[in-house]
Chain A
């Protein structure tokens, strides 16, 4: 092994590793961001790799600056701003590219790797599913392996010499990580105002709905409003909290009509009144929420024709209002041709297969709304899966993609596609967004409605009956409506349709298993927040834990877990002690002494061996093997742990006969 001086240049293999890690971490973004961003990134990374490969100079700073400005302007032109989720991530990507391009020193490489950690984080803004989490773990592994490579001086490390130490570091970090995750005092974010699209509108529902909006919202445990009922609480399945009604459809997005036509709350039939008080969290929107259907608008608000309640001012602070609703109702038997036309409007160029299917039903069933409805419910009931992590859909005809290809979706997929099918079949329809159900606080019987309870359903217009609520999600996952979203995604989310089809076969078992895993993941990893943390420690027998106590526990845990890891490391690689050989040797001498051949105090091991050989030919071979190993271990270059173990075991097995020869 020869010594080498420190290097001053970036090793090409190390640069390649960094490029590979960067490509890995950016790959999921390529599906989400505009094409040019992906192309730009691949081009720059390729350029940098080529520079490293051909040992060229990195481009001059002026050129890099020019590219930076061009890419930033491109980002601005794309989004009209440089804040917000997509724009922010695009900008960060562009910056990472340029960091890669201009790096020349080890220090800059390290900064690029740290930037890579941020890129890992940005992926979680879009999804926190198990597969993405595992994929990102691999990315982190690659980054650490790259860092290991850059910290090797001299001979370039092999792939295993990069991956193994990095993997060991991460594996050994896992216990500490778990301690931090459980014990680190959680605070309720955000700490500062987020851009409005930072996490798909954490703040609540919006005035439009495209596939993917609500399933993002559902991951937020933020409070939407609380309700205390004057008398008995209505059944779970009746609690549809009405919010924005979306009837303007362009083939992808459902929107509110730009002109909110005010209306009156006149019902042909109004029974089962419920009285309650709502405490609404600030949302900066104008909507008030009420059970279907409100009896009267609270002060400071007015009803729209589609039964939406609108506040005259945006709700910018907590708002409390008394409400009365009718759970059984009938309204809107008469609609004019203009209204009817609005609720039948379709973009013929998008989702052609869905439109064709709706028209086919209308033909086959002679336009009978009840029969068409039953046919549609049957379709959903048979083949569809309710999931929080739906696959990405085609941007042009998302509902075609959903209905005929992926068949996995969340309430907005079902509501959106159902209303579309109805319109195609000639039945006026619209999407209603809001919340469904809630969670009962066992202490005060108050109903807590969170963003996670966000829901979307539909209303169709039927002659003589008026607007009728249809919830296609209930067809796919009845539990969502009966017991809430957690139950529906949990292990007991049994879909009758699937049992019928698969008779609880392997496929269904795997699907249930995966859903159960996902549900626990959502509940314990993604949903682990301040409340969950408190609940977790209350279950362990530590009620009312404040952050100070948690901090103390965290410090203790870090010391205990960290100490255990450290001890394991140190014990495993402790150098073998030389004395171990002496202990074995003394034991060997004691055995021989007991057998009548003690070693003279002045006698060296080799002399002693000669004497043993002379007087005990029977034990000579064993004695020689032991003595040689002892001499090598004690006076020679030293012995490894295995060699010492062998010496000890030979001494243990050594038997000296007591009679003298």
Chain B
């Protein structure tokens, strides 16, 4: 209850929640700064040093106390400056399977001087740090545990620093529309797709290898390694891909109805495993889900298309973040 209230007050103060168009520059009014616990301890130390200086009438004690106090004030400016004018862009957010670690990528660059120990974190997660050099944008990636399939939103990011002396914590919030697509966790125990094993021939669907070799074509990014003509490469003919003639009868349909399992998630896991299997065999495959039909094809694009359909199956697009407070 209290935590909720705190969160909503902080959301209101820091005007969170509106996704921003990149790049975001941390201008002066976006940066907040407060003393850290160490900063308060430092202030208490200064008070004690001042008392001692007065009591023992130590002029150099006064010099020491005032020097350190002023240093603390200057440190506040340095901490603020360490964050000011940084430019943030969203980076790579590659899809992962549920249970794996997702990475939210953010690129940070500095326009003027080198920034040291810039931290980045999502809410209560551990932070990652980087030094940012002029002309060399740093790519930070925030790890996050995934528990279930769906679109995992990154949410508000906090970019912060305590450099140089840790007396102050300067921070700013950035809200990119960063998200990682989380595929269902493949059910490796599910075996091969039904049509790949057993009575494939009887149903008129060829198993891999039965297909007729057609021609060699130039390699395109995403072609399965199995299809690369390694012999041709050895003959120094360059990277070529073996093209097979796909007949209508050789199409493999991965069907929701055929995936046996208890509940939607279990079925999706089976299908995810089948998609991976089919792709590994270099098989052309299609996917049939209730309300969705993806025509047969192969290659990374097809694999991605199918896994995405599985990930987002019956999932509202802006689902609550897995693992985040409701």
What residues of chain A have their CB less than 8 Å away from a CB belonging to chain B?
A: 1-6, 107, 110-111, 114, 117-118, 120-121, 124-125, 128, 133, 136, 140, 144, 147-148, 150-155, 157, 161, 165-166, 168-170, 172-177, 180-181, 184, 186-192, 194, 198-199, 202, 220, 525-529, 562, 565-566, 569-570, 573-576, 637-638, 640-641
Contacts and interface: CB of A to CB of B under 8 A. Distances in A.
Interface residues of B, number: 62
Contacts of A165: 78, 164
Interface in B207-254: none
A574 B56 contact: no
Contacts of B292: none
Interface stretch (B3-11, B112-120, B148-156, B294-302): B112-120
B135 A637 contact: yes
Contact of A153 (B59, B81, B129, B132): B129
B34 interface: no
Given A151-B166, A169-B164, A637-B135, A565 B60 contact: no
B165 A180 contact: no
Interface stretch (B69-77, B173-181, B269-277, B307-315): B69-77
A168 B117 CA distance: 18
Contacts of A576: 111-112
A5 B162 CA distance: 15
Contact of B63 (A4, A117, A133, A574): A133
B130 A1 contact: yes
B264 interface: no
A528 B59 contact: yes
B61 A110 contact: no
A117 B68 contact: yes
B166 A121 contact: no
B57 A176 contact: no
Contacts of A528: 59
A177 B70 contact: yes
A6 B129 contact: yes
A176 B77 CA distance: 13
B20 interface: no
Contacts of B77: 565-566, 569-570
Interface stretch (B93-101, B136-144, B316-324): B136-144
Given A5-B126, A6-B119, A144-B71, A525 B60 contact: yes
Nearest to B105: A3
B174 to A, nearest CB: 16
B128 interface: yes
Contacts of B51: 191
18 contacts: A1-B130, A3-B139, A118-B52, A124-B58, A140-B68, A144-B165, A150-B166, A153-B117, A154-B130, A168-B78, A173-B67, A173-B70, A177-B70, A190-B54, A529-B59, A566-B77, A570-B81, A575-B85
Nearest to A190: B55
A139 to B, nearest CB: 10
Interface string B80-112: 010011000000000000000000000000011
B128 A4 contact: yes
Nearest to B37: A107
Given A169-B165, A191-B54, A174 B67 contact: yes
Contacts of B280: none
A147 B38 CA distance: 11
Contacts of B52: 118, 121
Given A190-B55, A199-B57, A573-B113, 9 more contacts: A1-B132, A118-B52, A124-B61, A140-B64, A151-B165, A152-B116, A169-B74, A637-B135, A640-B134
A191 B52 CA distance: 9
Max chain A C-beta neighbours (<10 A), residue from B37, B52, B55, B70: B70
Contact of B131 (A1, A181, A527): A1
A640 B126 CA distance: 33
A566 to B, nearest CB: 5
A483 B67 CA distance: 36
A170 B60 CA distance: 16
A16 B164 CA distance: 19
A152 B133 contact: no
Contacts of A176: 66, 69-70, 73-74
B201 interface: no
A641 B113 CA distance: 11
A136 B59 contact: no
B127 interface: yes
B42 interface: yes
Contacts of B58: 121, 124-125, 128
Contact of B41 (A111, A125, A169, A529): A111
Nearest to A565: B74
A177 B61 CA distance: 12
Max chain B C-beta neighbours (<10 A), residue from A176, A191, A562, A637: A176
A562 to B, nearest CB: 6
Contact of A6 (B56, B69, B127): B127
Contacts of A148: 163-165
A121 B67 contact: no
B53 interface: yes
A575 B48 CA distance: 40
A124 B85 contact: no
Contacts of B55: 189-192, 194
A421 to B, nearest CB: 36
Contacts of B141: 3
Nearest to B42: A114
A128 B135 contact: no
A529 B57 contact: yes
A526 B67 contact: no
Nearest to A122: B52
A124 B62 CA distance: 10
A638 B112 CA distance: 11
A140 B69 CA distance: 12
Contact of B53 (A121, A161, A172, A199): A121
A111 B131 CA distance: 26
Nearest to B68: A117
Contacts of B41: 110-111, 114
Contacts of B69: 176-177, 180
Contacts of A114: 41-42, 45
Contacts of A180: 62, 66, 69-70
Contact of A194 (B53, B56, B133, B140): B56
A147 B56 CA distance: 28
B49 interface: yes
A186 B63 CA distance: 13
Contacts of B132: 1
The 3 closest A-B pairs by CB, nearest first: A575-B111, A176-B70, A173-B70
Max chain A C-beta neighbours (<10 A), residue from B41, B61, B111, B141: B111
